[in-house]
Each structure stands twice: as structure tokens, then as C-alpha cells.
Amino acid sequence: MEFKNLLIETADGVATLTINSPRTLNALNSEVLGELECALFELNLNDAVKAVILTGAGEKAFVAGADIKEMATMTAHEGHRFGLKGQRVMMLIEKMTKPVIAAVNGYALGGGLELALACDFIYASTRAKVGFPEVTLGIMPGFGGTQNLARLIGPNRANEMIFTGKMIDAEKALAWGIVNEVFAPDELLAKAREAAAAIAGVGTLGVAYAKDAIANGLNMGKEDGFRYEASLFGVLFATDDQKEGMAAFVEKRKAVFTEK
Ligand code: CAA
């Protein structure tokens, strides 16, 4: 499918999805959100894709937020519907069986930070600035940010970021555990591709089940989470990939996984 606002490049099992509207700093309007939903759905079904990198076009921004010009005239009902549309994209990323890495190359604000937080982990460039400026617009984060940020870094730091609306730089985002690593701007994509290639090279069934256990386990009590993990762990012993992975270890050769 052709997209007006997205670029998708796939090589060696890794798809790079770039939000490509740099004139508005890749702001998320309804059209971009709709395209993201379709593109991510297709990438999840595409057997040639083992991992996805999500980034923004241009040197300035990953995504500078939901589109303020579109939201400015919304009614309460339209605002609610727009929030649900954004949340659907975030939930889709979490439900995808393939890992999604956010490569945050500049501003990740509001809905942009929410998009990055929905990904499985975040790499950032030294140019990244992240924050939730919604309160400066008279609103609050609406694409899952209150939930995901507080779960990731704890309520106190999340409260500070969301209540003040202030941005933090890449160094502080790293110290606070929002991003996993920080790279020079011209290294960021290569480093994200390195991580994605490492994921694409291992048993993708194991990766998919681990993603499921982590994401769903976080919404359960610990005992239920352990029980859920044990059932997924058990199911993997019914796969060819488990037989192949362990045989390859014993025979001191590289495993050839078939995702069966
Ligand atoms: N929505 C719509 N347009 C946006 C935008 C956004 N979130 N962010 C930037 N733009 C547009 C600007 O309006 C400008 O367009 P024009 O040239 O037509 O005026 C263009 O992108 C370039 O932006 P600036 O000239 O402002 O660039 P700058 O370098 O001076 O500033 C910035 C960069 C600090 C990121 C600034 O653009 C900014 O503050 N943007 C808004 C950030 C924000 O508040 N995001 C949260 C949105 S609310 C939200 O996301 C709700 C939610 O949780 C779902």
C-alpha cells in the first residue's frame, strides 16, 4: 500500500518506517495516525519483517506531537475520538509480535513521546528533546502517555514531566530510563539497525512470546505473570525452533530458525 506521509524501507528482515512530514515536524494528524495504523498492521503480517524501526524525517524532530492545528477546533466528542484513534496506534505497537525500536532523532513531544514510549525500547540522538507540553495547551497527554510514562519511570518523575510541561534533553532521558542509549545524530539509525538485525537473527518465536509475556505480565499481579510466562515457555517446546536452537547449541553450529 502507498502512503502519503510514511516511508517504508525493508532490508534483511528489518523495516524502517519513517514519518515523513518534516514541514510540520512530523506532527500526528488523523491522516498520519490512520496511515500508521495500516502500515504497522501490514508490517506485523509480513513474514519477511522481523523487527521494525520507527523514526521521523528531517533533522529536527522524531514527532513534535499530535497536530495542534487539527485539535484546535475539536469538540469534546471529536477530542475523545481523536484520543482513541491515537491510543489504537499505541496499542497496536504493543500488540505486534515483532519488536519496534524508536529511533528518536530530535523532538519527541506529546503524542510523539507517546509514540516512542509505545515502542519496545528507545534509542535517541544527542539532539533529542522529550517532554509532554500538553498542559501548556490546556490539555493533558491523551495517547497513553500518563500510563506508559508512569509505568516506565515511576509516578514522581512522570508527574514532574507532565505537570510542568518542560522538555528534558537526551542525557536526562537516559539517566531517567526513558531511552536505552544515546548516539551521535549520524550514528543513530545505524545503531538502531544493528539492534534490529540482532533481533532479526535470533528465534523470532521466542522474541514474540517474550514480548507478549513482558507486555501482558506488566498488567498482571506477579503470580499471574509467572503463570502466564510458564505457559508461553511451555508452548515454545512444541516448536521446531526450540528443537533446532538447542540442537544447534549441542552440535556447535549456528541455528537455522524456520518460525515453526
Ligand atoms: N502540531 C502542528 N504543527 C506543529 C506541531 C504540532 N504539534 N509542532 C510543530 N508544528 C509546526 C509549526 O506550527 C510550524 O509550522 P508553520 O511553519 O506552518 O508555522 C512547523 O511545524 C515548524 O515548527 P516551529 O516553527 O514551531 O519550529 P521551532 O523549531 O521554532 O520549534 C518546537 C520547535 C519547540 C517543537 C515547536 O514547534 C513546538 O513547541 N511544537 C509543539 C509541541 C507540542 O506542544 N506538542 C504536543 C502537542 S499536544 C499532544 O500531543 C496531545 C496528545 O497527547 C495526544
Q: Is the CB of 167 under 6 A from ligand 1?
A: no
Residue 152 vs residues 117, 120, 131, 184, 215: alpha-carbon distances, Å: 9, 11, 14, 24, 12
C-alpha 24 to ligand 1 mean position (Å): 7
- Choose the catalytic residue: 2, 134, 181, 194: 134
Question: Comparing 6-200 with 204-250, is the CATH topology the same?
Answer: no
Closest residue (by CA) to atom 16 of ligand 1? Answer: 24
Reply yes or no on whether 114 is catalytic: yes
pLDDT of residue 1: 77
CATH of segment(s) 6-200: 3.90.226.10
All cell numbers assigned to 15 = 523495516
Closest residue (by CA) to atom 14 of ligand 1? Answer: 24
Asked if 4 and 10 touch (Cβ cutoff 8 Å), the reply is no
Mutation to probe ligand 1, out of 19, 20, 68 (largest number of atoms < 8 A from CB) = 68
- The residue extents of the domains of the chain are 6-200, 204-250
DSSP secondary structure code for residue 129 in this structure: E
pLDDT of residue 259: 87
pLDDT of residue 164: 98
Q: From 1.10.10, 1.10.12, 3.40.190, 2.60.120, which CATH number describes the 204-250 domain?
A: 1.10.12
pLDDT of residue 135: 98
pLDDT of residue 199: 96
Q: Which helix (H) or strand (E) holds 52?
A: strand 51-56
Query: Which residues does 134 contact at the CB level (< 8 Å), separation at least 6?
Result: 110, 140, 141, 142, 145, 162, 165
- DSSP3 helix / strand / coil % (the chain, rounded to 5): 50, 15, 30
Q: Do β-strands 6-11 and 168-169 pair in parallel, antiparallel, or remain unpaired?
A: unpaired
> Which residues of the chain have a pLDDT value below 50?
none
Instruction: For the beta carbon of residue 133, count every other beta carbon within 10 angstroms.
Output: 21
Atom of ligand 1 nearest to the CA of 68: 1
